[in-house]
Amino acid sequence: MTQSENIEALVRAYQPTSDERSHSAATALLRQDRVMWRRTDFDPGHFTASGFVVSSDGGSLLLILHGKLGRWLQPGGHIDSDDPSAEAAARREVFEETGVANLRALADDPVRMDVHKIPAREPEPKHLHFDLGFGFQAAGGDIGPLDEVADAKWVRFEH
């Protein structure tokens, strides 16, 4: 299955909940002449992949401090041409940004779909990220070297 076919299947299988607008926008993007997943697709944007990672005990969520945005977010990023699937891209991004590996998928399909605006920054124009968020549970909790992000930490869920 090609990357484009994988993304199209994931978007079509996604069961929207409260983020209906994101799903509608992503479905509209599929109506283009090709699935826009390359980081050079700017009109209107491209698909990305992220990971919502819960700790092994289920009590914490893994977050990164995005260096350019200065916000705490789930790890994620662009889908590379050598990623076998969007889920594999999410796993790779989680590992690259946090060092956390050995992830167990919590669902076959994305658990969240989001569309967010990316401001222009040379040489890239402003564009949209159509993010496919995958749910994972980590086998361990050690955060590795942080080369790509400002910080990473486990944040306890409030009860």
Q: What CATH number matches the domain at 3-156, 3.30.70.100, 1.20.120.1810, 3.90.79.10, 3.30.1380.10?
A: 3.90.79.10
Instruction: Supply the pLDDT for residue 19.
Output: 58
Instruction: Supply the pLDDT for residue 45.
Output: 87
Beta bridge partners of 115: 130
Break the chain into its structural domains and give their ranges.
3-156
pLDDT tens digits for 29-60? 666 666 677 778 888 889 999 999 999 999 99
Q: Which two tokens stand for residue 44?
A: 């209107």
Q: Which of 61, 34, 37 is nearest to 48 (CA)?
A: 37
Instruction: Supply the pLDDT for residue 41.
Output: 80
Rounded Cα gap, residues 93 and 154, in angstroms? 16
Beta bridge partners of 73: 64
Instruction: Supply the pLDDT for residue 78.
Output: 94
Instruction: Supply the pLDDT for residue 6.
Output: 85
- Below-50 pLDDT ranges, the chain: none
Alpha helix stretches (DSSP H) within 84-159? 86-98
Instruction: Supply the pLDDT for residue 34.
Output: 63
